[in-house]
Chains A and B, each alone.
Chain A
Amino acid sequence: MKLHTIHILVENRAGVLSRISGLFSRRGFNIESLAVGTCEEAGMSRMTIVVLGDDAQIEQVKKQLNKLIDVIKVSDITDQSTVARELALIKVAAEPGDTRAGVMQIANIFRAKIIDVGAKTVILEVTGDSEKIDALETLLRQYGIKEFVRTGKIALLRGQKGIKSMK
């Protein structure tokens, strides 16, 4: 069992997201994260799904996704050379003084931006791979994390290679 990153190109039609999420839940596949948005091709969206499974399960995931009429292309990019990013917003308890200074220092190390400052909290914005965000979360826990949201992972192949609609 390992985490796989699956890239899907879909027709941007009503219901396509529920077709895909429904397929995952019905067939008992484990989604870790899912990110979706429109892309450079008109009428299409790109999805990046992180899913946990062994080779046989991932093979089924890909084949079942391919059977959906609105799905144009499915690629497992786990072992390919990619750039992948997640974004997280973290609201941390940080009273002015030593605590806040500590939080800002950690933010600096992680190249996280402070995007909101309140009386007792600050909000950090950070992008990076999943491990980096996990690490930041762990470090900030000592101060008290009030709220934490993260997008799913998005990814692109490096260089000339790309995932296009030509099936």
Chain B
Amino acid sequence: MKTGAKLLVESLQREGVETIFGYPGGAVLPIYDELYDAPIRHILVRHEQAAAHAADGYARASGRVGVCLATSGPGACNLVTGIATAYMDSVPLVAITGQVPTFMLGNDAFQESDITGITMPITKHNYLVKRAADLGQVVKDAFYIAGTGRPGPVLVDIPKDVMTTQLEAEPPIGRAKLRGYQPTYEGHALQIEKAVSLIGEAERPLLYVGGGVIASGASEDVRRLAELMLIPVATTLMGLGTVPCDHPLNLGMIGMHGTEAANYAVTECDLLIAVGVRFDDRVTGKIDAFAPNARIIHIDIDPAEIGKNKPVDIPIVGDAGKVLQSIIRRLIKKEGRETWLARVRHWKEEQTVRDGDDGLSPAYIIREMSDLLGDHGIVVSEVGQNQMWAAQHYCFRRPRTWISSGGLGTMGYGFPAAIGAHFARPDETVVDVAGDGSFQMNIQELGTVVQYKVPVKVVVLNNMYLGMVRQWQELFYDRRYSYTELPAVDFVGIARAYGVDGIRVEEREEVRPALEAAFTTDGPFVLDFRIEREANVFPMVPAGAAINEMIGRRQA
């Protein structure tokens, strides 16, 4: 005899789960009772949203499925933003929620909410488990769905009586096998042949790579293809770290706040090799003017992404790594390509757009941080200007060292995601690059980092503004700063009250020593950088403009 709750916890162990982020309540008491002496570590957060983001950060840092747990009703609803964030960025997550007992379902019972209904459009799949005997197979299938193909969140909702049901015999659990779910990993041979000949013929090829390459573990394959055929590489926000920032073929980030080199290259290229990217509007700008002269090869594991926003010439459904390897095997090394590479190099060197480098500039802070951390850091970000500055100025050299909410752009994501990243990769220094607005959206997690001694460093780029929104108001709304100013907050004081150390920095000379102090401290640390208040993120492509129409050119 064993209860549904026990079966659940054993099923999680069978999936290799070591860490869960959660928050208890009435409807999950039986699960918490099982967790009390189970060999699974449970991290008690201070808000369920943070549990979902922490599980997401854990997943992105490790490539494994992250797990979060919440009670019914308000607990489950608090997970929603975190689940949507993971869904938009294709992050493997299993969210477990308690539910009112089956016989009360649909009765507006205490703390009942239809969480499977609510999360239907923001999960890859979800389950309401009505029989304890099904729990084992559901958990198996949930992890399989979350972690394979195009990864994504799966929610498992469990009524309380299902947790307490005594099972006579444990039903056998088969391999996850779902008739309606069979991801394609190998690319179509004929399409691969066509891609090979296009790559052979191209004069001005460009690789455009993103989150799918990181998910696939195909960074090395991208670099090999680039070096073999002398193809410059532009990465999306989600693809940073695929190719080392200082690699000669790396053009940096493409898109609205991308580099001139990447945005000009995509406009002039005659072949665009898109790998694990989804032609997001933040990347393409005006879609007709994106890669206007190019034939397009698109490699993606999700057939629905191919041709969704832009027609392509060679669609290849499959895993980025597997497909790239088949392509590389058939190619012969390219020599020369001087004209195109010289043109690209020219854009890189002549980059006219520079961030103001004097005073307490965010660019300077991020570059110092990058210099100090070298290859021992994972950078997580909040959302807004802070996120773009981190993306632009930090030198990423390895995959899974940049963790950021791209698709949903969730303020408050970074701090809890950094906590999750720490538990996945305790050997790395994890830094949350934050804005003053975003940090305050989940600042309560200072309690969590103190309780579990999580040595996460928070670098607040404090401009006392909702800076990214203010920037749009400055540029497009005649400087009418409607409700975007935030009064000064003493972040160091708040941190201290929780028991976390911190330093406020107001002078350029203090930047490096302060960062050093934070990185050499064993525990968590908060740095409150009072940056130039109206610094902007440049270059910038205004919404709806062509991707090579960048504004904000300031000479260095």
Stretch at the interface among A65-73, A112-120, A154-162: A65-73
CB–CB A71/B180 < 8 A: yes
Given the interface contacts A19-B120, A22-B120, A69-B145, does A11 sit within 8 Å of B307 by beta carbon? no
- Chain B's nearest CB lies how many Å from the CB of A62? 9
- Closest A residue by C-beta to B305: A63
Query: Which residues of chain B come closer than 8 Å to A22, judged between CB atoms?
Result: 120-121
Q: Tally the A-B contacts, defined by beta carbons under 8 Å.
A: 42
How far, in whole Å, are A15 and B123 apart by their CA atoms in the complex?
A: 14
Per-residue interface assignment for chain B, residues 106 to 124, with 1 indicating a CB less than 8 Å from any chain A CB and 0 otherwise: 0000000000110011001
CB–CB A72/B180 < 8 A: yes
CB–CB A69/B178 < 8 A: yes
- Chain B's nearest CB lies how many Å from the CB of A60? 6
Query: Which residues of chain A come closer than 8 Å to B302, judged between CB atoms?
Result: 67
Query: Which residues of chain B come closer than 8 Å to A69, judged between CB atoms?
Result: 124-125, 145, 178, 180-181
A59 at the interface (CB under 8 A from B): yes
Given the interface contacts A11-B180, A70-B180, does A59 sit within 8 Å of B307 by beta carbon? yes
Given the interface contacts A19-B120, A22-B121, does A167 sit within 8 Å of B304 by beta carbon? no
Query: Which residues of chain A come closer than 8 Å to B200, judged between CB atoms?
Result: none
A56 at the interface (CB under 8 A from B): yes
| Interface range for B | 10 to 19
B535 at the interface (CB under 8 A from A): no
Interface residues of A in 142-167 (CB under 8 A from B): 165, 167
Given the interface contacts A14-B128, A60-B304, A67-B302, does A72 sit within 8 Å of B179 by beta carbon? yes
How far, in whole Å, are A60 and B121 apart by their CA atoms in the complex?
A: 16
- Chain B's nearest CB lies how many Å from the CB of A17? 11
How far, in whole Å, are A18 and B126 apart by their CA atoms in the complex?
A: 12
- Chain B's nearest CB lies how many Å from the CB of A39? 15
- Chain B's nearest CB lies how many Å from the CB of A6? 15
Per-residue interface assignment for chain B, residues 122 to 134, with 1 indicating a CB less than 8 Å from any chain A CB and 0 otherwise: 0011001000000
Per-residue interface assignment for chain B, residues 179 to 216, with 1 indicating a CB less than 8 Å from any chain A CB and 0 otherwise: 11110000000000000000000000000000000000
A75 at the interface (CB under 8 A from B): no
A64 at the interface (CB under 8 A from B): yes
- Closest A residue by C-beta to B141: A69
CB–CB A68/B121 < 8 A: no
How far, in whole Å, are A26 and B117 apart by their CA atoms in the complex?
A: 13
CB–CB B182/A167 < 8 A: yes
CB–CB A63/B303 < 8 A: yes
Given the interface contacts A60-B308, A66-B303, A67-B304, does A18 sit within 8 Å of B120 by beta carbon? yes
- Chain A's nearest CB lies how many Å from the CB of B119? 11
- Chain A's nearest CB lies how many Å from the CB of B114? 10
Interface residues of A in 45-71 (CB under 8 A from B): 56, 59-60, 63-64, 66-71
Interface residues of B in 136-185 (CB under 8 A from A): 145, 178-182
Query: Which residues of chain B come closer than 8 Å to A19, judged between CB atoms?
Result: 120
- Chain A's nearest CB lies how many Å from the CB of B510? 50
Query: Which residues of chain A come closer than 8 Å to B179, judged between CB atoms?
Result: 11, 72, 165, 167
- Closest A residue by C-beta to B152: A67
- Chain B's nearest CB lies how many Å from the CB of A54? 13
- Chain A's nearest CB lies how many Å from the CB of B280? 16
CB–CB A18/B128 < 8 A: no
- Chain B's nearest CB lies how many Å from the CB of A1? 18
- Closest B residue by C-beta to A56: B307
- Chain B's nearest CB lies how many Å from the CB of A51? 16
- Closest B residue by C-beta to A61: B304
- Closest B residue by C-beta to A22: B120
How far, in whole Å, are A71 and B178 apart by their CA atoms in the complex?
A: 10
CB–CB B117/A18 < 8 A: yes
Query: 16 extra interchain contacts, Cβ-Cβ under 8 A, other than A15-B117, A23-B121, A59-B307?
Result: A11-B179, A11-B180, A15-B128, A18-B117, A22-B120, A26-B121, A60-B304, A66-B304, A67-B302, A67-B304, A68-B180, A69-B178, A70-B180, A72-B179, A72-B180, A167-B180
Those 9 A-B pairs whose CB atoms lie nearest each other, nearest first: A63-B304, A69-B125, A72-B180, A69-B181, A26-B121, A71-B180, A69-B180, A63-B303, A22-B120
15 A–B pairs (Cβ distance < 8 Å), ordered by A: A15-B117, A15-B120, A15-B128, A18-B120, A26-B121, A56-B307, A64-B304, A66-B303, A67-B304, A68-B125, A69-B125, A69-B145, A69-B180, A72-B179, A167-B179
